[in-house]
Amino acid sequence: MEYVGSTLFAWLLLVVLVVYSRSPSSHLPPGPKGLPLIGNIFDLSLKELWLSLEKWAREYGDIVYIHVFGTGLVFLNDAEVAVDLMDRKGSIYSDRPHLVMAGELCGGYNIMSFTGYNDQFRRQRRLMQRALTPLVIKNYHPLLEMETIPFLKRLLSKPTSYVDHIRRYAGTLTLNVIYGHQVTSDDDRCLKIAEACADVLANDIAGGGFLWLVDVLPFLRHLPMWAPGSGFKHKAIKWKAQLTEFATVPYDEFKENMANGTAKTCYCSTLVEAAGKSITEQDEFDIKYSANTMYSASLDTTITVVTSFMLCMVLNPEVRIKAQEEIDRVVGKDRLPNFTDRPNLPYMECVLSEVFRWTSPVPYALPHRLMEDDTYRDYFIPKGSFVFANIWNMCRDERMYPDAHAFVPERFAQPADEETKKKRDPKNFVFGFGRRRCPGMYLAEQSTWLLITSMLAALDIQKAVDEKGNVIEPEVRYENSVFRMPAPFKMDIRPREHARKLMNL
């Protein structure tokens, strides 16, 4: 999808630093009135901000404008508006904010989520689109199926560590699909490097919301290494080396396997084989770093969607039972589901769509940066504005999804014409818009389908009970400001009666 494991706090603070002249407010889209100079900074609660955005959408309409110290934040609350601007005007709505520490000094500019709208971004995006089409992804199906049973076994062995198991699954799957690297133990070198880099990105580089003093005062990047206050440069050198190591080690292993004829079909092999003998140094760079982007972009999203699915099953046991009945009837109880079963499991398609809709994993996505002044519906949108697709509101549109806050898969089984089906399909907007739309969306969608269908085939996921037999209601909390990721909650995960056969235990 089009997002990395950061927080909205970084983007909002960066907004404060950029001040520019804007057109008269009478031409701006409507929005809550801010204070002089500082604007709406106190309206931006980082805790579940999507709820405030939903309220603003009801009050002000399809486009909401606020500003912080003169810099505009534009929220697009309707999917058609987002398509009009981010898709049809993608040439000016596809840039990203610039961060000196994370991007320049730590080398994060090679990760596509940080990369501005430039030639490098366009080259790497084309590579990902070429190697991650639905047709090509069919070649990866055996790799996806290979990771399912180990995940289910780990989940049953230690259910309370379910977040760790999902993280391990996402990392292992990505290494396999992208590099053809099969993880066989917790001590796997590539997995350890990948997990360490994910930790560096999330907890070190992003320690202040990805914003450092050098982002505020860019001239500090020229400080000598020995000067007081240059500690950030020493850290950047270390972290850049780690990020470079992760981009390099699995790719070099892949190249070695290609040379000796043992490489598996994977993302990198698809692109290298397509380039053939004419492959250039720039081709290699783009393949290596587009591959590297896949890991950093997929981890938090996978954790968010799968943990949300588990929460939905705990809170809606009737959905779990109905889905299990369909799986048992179509697939049987002697094997796990595979992709050949998918056309015959229509209710599971409804469950998957409702998981994406109800979860809204990145409720307002990461901002696009408008590259030049624009007008839309007689509104003026200033150059430099940060433009957010309010995906949460699109997924909670009562006109399209009655009783939108409820988890109701059956809504997608209701008869409708093709245009309505397309408009109500959440996959058309939860993966982003325009040229920042997640190039890995088909891989994410198919791997999610296989994983949640296999979980329902093998497991009962339900409310936990205490030692006295009392049902424990899950405590539902959302603490991440970018991903709508449920905080860890209590639940009961146990094998179904035929699970041992399914997992070859």
Looking at 342-417, list the stretches that DSSP marks H as alpha helix, in order from N- to C-terminal side. Answer: 346-359, 391-395
* Strand pairing category for 71-76 and 386-389: parallel
Token pair 């988890």 is at which residue?
Answer: 407
- 35 exposure class (CB count in 10 Å sphere: 0-12, 13-18, 19+): exposed
Selection from 28, 90, 89, 16 nearest residue 60 by Cα: 28
**Distance separating alpha carbons of residues 473 and 317, to the nearest angstrom:** 13
Whether 360 and 388 have beta carbons less than 8 Å apart is answered as: no
Q: Is the dihedral of CA 175, 177, 181, 187 positive or negative?
A: positive
Q: Name the H helices within 63-117.
A: 79-82
Residue 190 is assigned to a ligand binding site: no
Residue 464 · residue 491 · CB < 8 Å: yes
The per-residue DSSP string of 73-85 comes to EEEE-SHHHHIII
- Residue-wise DSSP of 301-337: HHHHHHHHHHHHHHH-HHHHHHHHHHHHHHH-SSS--
How many angstroms separate the CA atoms of 392 and 364, rounded?
6
Taking a C-beta distance cutoff of 8 angstroms, is the pair 288, 271 a contact?
no
CB 56 within 8 A of CB 390: no
Instruction: Give the C-alpha separation, 361 to 304, whole Å.
Output: 6
The encoded tokens of residue 126 equal 């084309």
Q: With contact defined as beta carbons under 8 Å apart, do 190 and 295 qualify?
A: no
Describe the crossing of helices 231-260 and 162-179 by its angle, rounded to 10 degrees: 50
Cα gap 148→89, rounded to integer Å: 40
The residues with which 495 forms a beta bridge, in sequence order, are: 459
DSSP H helix total and E strand total for the chain: 19, 10
Question: CA 414, CA 489: separation in Å to the nearest integer?
Answer: 32
Torsion 8-12-18-22 (CA) sign = positive
Q: Binding site membership: which residues?
A: 438
Q: Binding site membership for heme: which residues?
A: 438
